[in-house]
């Protein structure tokens, strides 16, 4: 795969050295082959491997509809080191979400979850912990059910554990589902964002990840920029100025208006 092919797939290489590569996964792309895959589908693992011309080792994942930073090891030793950090919960992941309603300014969602979000026969739940803080609130002047307008919150989220669909399931559990979530979300609000704002993606993005470099043990912080569709929503809601420039496309940081 040539660089132009990778760019056409919407994938940006954020950081690379001899042991680690970090990329910005677009919404709608799976990290690797999984349930629901179709013939000929391009996966992030495959795209990055072909672009770099070497094998890459996955150490964590993002849901298909979630965008943002994904880190791979470039050899098995680096991957094992990174995987151990994830298992020890020493990796800090930060997400940005738009959710229905006005959430509390700060909160902790401590709610066990079944390991597999898809299984009809539920497995015994395992501990799951999510910490969040509200960055902004806003309204859209479109009727939703009995209400004449919709209320929404911009939320910074840090999952302590890494369960399947954890953020999405946790915010559904506190009655503030993530906008654009077709599995755990609110169809009426999703429809408003799709029809009125032209946004059909899940409004959940992994914007930052912090870990120790597997080689020199230096503290690493890698940020990914939000895509145009997500930024269009933020601009419409008047929320762009609430975010650090490292999370926004360069054109937005140069001309936020």
* Mean pLDDT for the chain overall: 91
Per annotation, catalytic residue among 63, 181, 186, 227: 63
DSSP the chain: --HHHHHHTT-EEEEE-SSEEEEEEPTT--SS--TT--TT---HHHHHHHHHTS--EE-----TT-EEEEEEESSHHHHHHHHHHHHTT--EEEEEEEEES---SEEEEE--B-S-SS-SSPPPPB--EEEEEEEEEEEESS-BTTBSSEEEEEEEEEESS--TTHHHHHHHHTT-PBTT-TTTS-HHHHHHHHHHS---S-SEEEEEEEEE-TTT--EEEEE-PPPHHHHHHHHHHT-GGGS-GGGS-HHHHH---
Q: Which residue has the tokens 């890494």?
A: 162
Phi then psi for residue 136, to 5 deg, are -165, 160
Give residue 25's domain range: 3-241
Q: C-alpha 200: how far from its chain's center?
A: 15
Q: What's the CATH code of the domain at 77?
A: 3.30.2350.10
Catalytic residue flag (residue 63):
yes
Query: What is the mean predicted confidence (pLDDT) over 194-213?
Result: 97
Q: Is residue 56 part of a domain?
A: yes
Give the per-residue pLDDT at 8. Answer: 45
Q: Is the pLDDT of residue 244 over 50?
A: yes
pLDDT of residue 147: 85
Q: Tell me what percent of the residues of the chain surpass a pLDDT of 90.
A: 81
**Would residue 142 count as lying in a domain?**
yes
Predicted TM-score of the model (pTM) = 0.91
Of 147 and 83, more confident: 83
Asked if residue 101 is part of any domain, the answer here is yes
Query: What is the tally of structural domains in the chain?
Result: 1
Confidence bin at 4 (pLDDT 50/70/90): very low
The residues, ordered by sequence, that sit 6+ positions from 207 with a Cβ below 8 Å of its Cβ are: 68, 69, 94, 95, 96, 223, 224, 226, 247
Q: Let me know: does 98 contact 233? Beta carbons within 8 Å.
A: yes
- Per residue in 86-145, pLDDT tens? 999 999 999 999 999 999 999 999 999 998 888 766 789 999 999 999 999 999 999 988
- Comparing 6 with 97, the larger pLDDT belongs to 97
The predicted model gives 3-11 an average pLDDT of 49
Does 118 map to a domain?
A: yes
Cα–Cα distance measured from residue 142 to residue 113, given in angstroms and rounded to the nearest whole number: 34
From the list 166, 164, 136, 131, the residue with the least C-alpha distance to 152 is 136
Position 179 pLDDT exceeds 50: yes
249 part of a folded domain: no
Q: Is residue 179 part of a domain?
A: yes
In a domain, 70, yes or no: yes
Q: State the Cα–Cα distance between residues 126 and 55, nearest whole angstrom.
A: 33
Tell me what pLDDT residue 256 has.
46
Q: According to the model, what pLDDT value does residue 2 have? A: 36
pLDDT of residue 9: 54
* Cα gap 176→168, rounded to integer Å: 9
- Would you say residue 220 lies in a domain? yes
């Amino acid at each position: 795969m040539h660089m132009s092919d990778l760019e056409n797939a919407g994938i940006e290489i954020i950081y690379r050295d001899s042991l680690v590569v970090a990329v910005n996964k677009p919404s709608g792309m799976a990290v690797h082959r999984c349930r629901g895959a179709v013939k000929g589908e391009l996966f992030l693992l495959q795209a990055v491997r072909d672009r770099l011309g070497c094998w890459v080792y996955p150490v964590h994942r993002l849901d298909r509809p979630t965008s943002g930073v994904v880190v791979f090891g470039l050899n098995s030793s680096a991957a094992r080191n990174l995987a151990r950090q994830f298992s020890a919960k020493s990796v800090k992941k930060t997400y940005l979400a738009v959710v229905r309603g006005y959430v509390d300014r700060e909160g902790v969602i401590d709610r066990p979850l079944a390991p597999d979000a898809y299984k009809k026969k539920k497995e015994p739940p395992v501990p799951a912990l999510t910490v969040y803080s509200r960055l902004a609130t806003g309204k859209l002047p479109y009727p939703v059910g009995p209400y004449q307008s919709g209320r929404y919150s911009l939320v910074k989220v840090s999952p302590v554990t890494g369960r399947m669909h954890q953020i999405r399931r946790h915010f559904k559990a506190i009655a503030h589902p993530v906008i654009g979530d077709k599995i755990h979300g609110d169809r009426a609000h999703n429809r408003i964002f799709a029809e009125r704002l032209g946004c059909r993606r899940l409004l959940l993005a992994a914007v930052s990840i912090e870990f120790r470099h597997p080689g020199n043990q230096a503290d690493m912080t890698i940020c990914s920029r939000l895509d145009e569709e997500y930024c269009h929503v933020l601009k419409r809601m008047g929320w762009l100025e609430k975010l650090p420039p490292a999370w926004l496309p360069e054109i937005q940081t140069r001309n936020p208006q």
